[in-house]
Amino acid sequence: MSDVAEAIRAEALTKRFGSVTALAGVSIALKRGETLGILGDNGAGKSTLIKILTGYHQPDSGQLFVDGKPVRLGSVDEARAFGIECVYQDLALVNGLSVYHNLFLNRELLRPGLLRLLDHAAMRRRAAEALAEIGVNVPSIEIEVGALSGGQRQAIAVARAVCSKARILLLDEPLAAMGAREAQQIIRLIERLKARGDIAIAMIAHNYAQTLEICDRVILMQHGCVTFESATAATSAAELLEIVRREYRQRA
């Protein structure tokens, strides 16, 4: 039942920044256990869409629904309260802190008592459990994040979102600037999260082949509109490329 429930739906979102129309009526829907790839050129409106879904921007018009109920996401914290978490391109990890401190950043576990001291032992234990559960391997949870590879850091960032009970996970270019082997680790991590069935995942990506490999469905955004939508099984990188090329020819 959970795998058919609609997690988040956006209807006719518009957003303008001054004279620039970033979104001109975008509608998307995302189910639990489903992975949606959002493709498109720079400036197509992908990031604006993600930032509206995370409560960072508010749309000028249009409506958001979480679990079928209309909601207004006034801030990142409000979105978080609905289980919406975003893993940004800049990773948002503190390199000088340990893996487990990063996993619990600003959600630290405290020892009982008036002094409100950090419970390092509980955080270590829970971090190790959480990472094992989603199959992320790091040399040690006490190691500073700065000493990890890009892929491991990305995995930690994803793990942090999952740890904080993300039910709608938004990934901003999770495979950017990553070698093939590291990208494979992240792809497998996303597949494991998908297999849990309780998380809806939307990811911005540039690499068509990788997106088609991971995602159940893709949308293509151009000039603030969704110009193409398809199940990944029913399309191909060649078809997507052809649509984008046609667009360039028209503009030329």
Report the interface residues with other proteins, using CB under 8 A: 76-77, 88, 90-97, 101, 105-106, 108, 110, 115-118, 120-121, 124-125, 144, 146-147
β-sheet with 200-204: strand ranges across: 84-87, 168-172, 200-204, 35-40, 217-222, 225-231
Minimum CB separation of residue 89 from other proteins in Å reads: 11
Minimum CB separation of residue 141 from other proteins in Å reads: 10
Tokens in use for 75?
């801030």
The answer to whether residues 183 and 175 touch, using CB atoms and an 8 Å cutoff, is: yes
The answer to whether residues 234 and 59 touch, using CB atoms and an 8 Å cutoff, is: no
Residue 11 or 108: the one with the smaller Cβ distance to other proteins is 108
Minimum CB separation of residue 87 from other proteins in Å reads: 10
Residue 158 or 218: the one with the smaller Cβ distance to other proteins is 158
Minimum CB separation of residue 235 from other proteins in Å reads: 34
Residue 141 or 220: the one with the smaller Cβ distance to other proteins is 141
DSSP 8-class letter at 84 = E
Minimum CB separation of residue 82 from other proteins in Å reads: 15
* CA distances for 32 relative to 23, 75, 102, 111, 132, angstroms: 25, 23, 27, 35, 22
- The backbone torsions φ and ψ at residue 70, rounded to the nearest 5 degrees and listed phi first, read -65, 135
Minimum CB separation of residue 209 from other proteins in Å reads: 27
Strands 168-172 and 84-87: parallel
* CA distances for 102 relative to 2, 98, 221, angstroms: 30, 6, 33
Residue 83 or 224: the one with the smaller Cβ distance to other proteins is 83
The answer to whether residues 167 and 134 touch, using CB atoms and an 8 Å cutoff, is: no
Tokens in use for 48?
């604006």
Residue 58 or 75: the one with the smaller Cβ distance to other proteins is 75
Residue 31 or 124: the one with the smaller Cβ distance to other proteins is 124
